[in-house]
Amino acid sequence: MSTVRKLLEGKGRAIYSVEPQAAVLDAIRLMAEHHVGALAVMRGAALEGIVSERDYARKVILRGRSSADTPVRDIMSAPVLTVSLDTSVQACMQLMTDRHVRHLPVVDGARVIGMISIGDLVKAVIAEQKAQIEQLESYIHS
């Protein structure tokens, strides 16, 4: 079973973040610039929340709020669900499914060291299944 550690080795550990007092518009621009669906909300090195495109759609757009005037802290999801490097891909998928989230910050103690998405997990599962199929085909043909 694959772990978050292995997933991050292939994906990288880039962490895109925003401060709680930043305008939601700035957060959306940052997400678009980096082609990500969520940002860690950080005060210094401390993880305070997570803000996603879903938060924006549900807590700004649908409520008729202004993206330029609304601070991220007003729409972020907190407390944040996190995982460690040793968490299995399966456990991450279960957590995301049970809690209806699409992004999980990866932490080492209190330090944020990466972010994974449901897309990352699906890719990992597909790659693992492909490897298993290739092994079985090799075994059958030998």
Q: What is the pLDDT of residue 61?
A: 86
User: Angle at which helices 118-141 and 89-99 pack, to 10 degrees?
Assistant: 140
**4-141 topology per CATH:** CBS-domain (3.10.580)
Q: What is the pLDDT of residue 73?
A: 97
Query: Would you state the structure tokens that stand for residue 136, as one six-digit string?
Result: 């079985």
Q: Integer distance in angstroms from the first to the last C-alpha of the chain?
A: 25
Determine which of 29-33, 35-39, 117-121, 125-129 has the lowest per-residue pLDDT on average. Answer: 125-129
Q: Where are the beta strands (DSSP E) in 59-136?
A: 103-108, 111-117
Strand arrangement, sheet containing 38-43 = 17-18, 38-43, 46-52
Give 73-118 pLDDT, tens digit per residue.
Answer: 999 999 999 999 999 999 999 999 999 999 999 999 889 999 999 9
- pTM: predicted TM-score of the whole model, two decimal places: 0.87
Distances (CA, A) of 60 to 23, 67, 72, 74: 11, 7, 10, 9
What band does 138 get if pLDDT is binned at 50, 70 and 90?
confident
How far is the C-alpha of 43 from the C-alpha of 32, rounded, in Å? Answer: 21
Q: What is the pLDDT of residue 37?
A: 94
Residue in the block written with tokens 């549900």: 58
Domain boundaries, the chain: 4-141
CB-CB contact of 49 with 80 (8 Å): yes
